[in-house]
Structure 1
Amino acid sequence: MLSILELCHIIESAFLPLSCECRVEPSGSLQIQISEPISGRVELLVTGISASRLTGNPAIAQLINEIKEELNFTHDRRTDLDRVQQKC
């Protein structure tokens, strides 16, 4: 089983070149914050991730894929909103 530090390193590396911070919350769950590295703008914040469910590579890969899907959805939505604001 991976340590929390190893797990966080794997997760953080999966989102390069974006900035990703994986933190352990007081409850023991993980918090993942993904930011644009130049502006520092937070693109996505995910909290309450149970580290105990991340028992192997398939579970870790599934979490990373779920977060990437949410990140893409959020980015697309933000882009659409920026276009609408530019037209106004």
Structure 2
Amino acid sequence: MLSTLELRHIIESALRPLSCECRVDQSGSLQALIFEPVSGRVELLVTGISTASLNCNRAIGKLIAEIQEDLETTHGQRPTLRIG
């Protein structure tokens, strides 16, 4: 299993050119705040991400694809998928 630090790096890097800050909340779940880097405008906040479910590249890729889909649906933005 990847460390929280590694998960954060993968997710944050994959959502560029938008900025992403991943944090572990009080319940131990991951939350991802995705925002426009210049203006700081929040594009999406994803909460309650189970780190236990992110145990392989496929699961991480699926999460990133779901976040990208949400971004595209709500804002018409879809960053290029980058894993690793």
Say yes or no: TM over 0.5: yes
CA displacement, residues 27-82 of structure 1 (integer Å, 9 cap, x when unaligned): 00000010001100000000001110001000000000000000110103xxxxxx
Matched, 1:21 2:21: yes
Aligned to 1:32: 32
Regions of 4+ moved over 3 Å = none
Give 1:44's aligned amino acid: L
Q: Which has the higher contact order (CA 8 A, sep 6+)?
A: 2
- Equivalent residues, number: 76
Distance 1:23 1:38 in 2: 21
Distance 2:8 2:47 in 1: 14
Structure 1 unaligned regions, length at least 5: 77-88
Distance 1:30 1:74 in 2: 21
Q: Per-residue deviation at 1:15? A: 0.7
Question: If you compute each CA radius of gyration, which structure gives the higher value, 1 or 2?
Answer: 1
Identical counterparts, % of pairs? 68
Structure 2 unaligned regions, length at least 5: 77-84
Pairing of 1:49-88 with structure 2 (within 5 A)? 49-76=49-76
Distance 1:19 1:66 in 2: 16
RMSD across aligned C-alpha pairs, in angstroms?
0.6
TM-score by length of 2: 0.88
Give the helix-richer structure, 1 or 2.
Answer: 1
SS in 2 for 1:21: strand
Distance 2:46 2:52 in 1: 16
Q: Per-residue deviation at 1:17? A: 1.2
Give 2:58's aligned amino acid: P
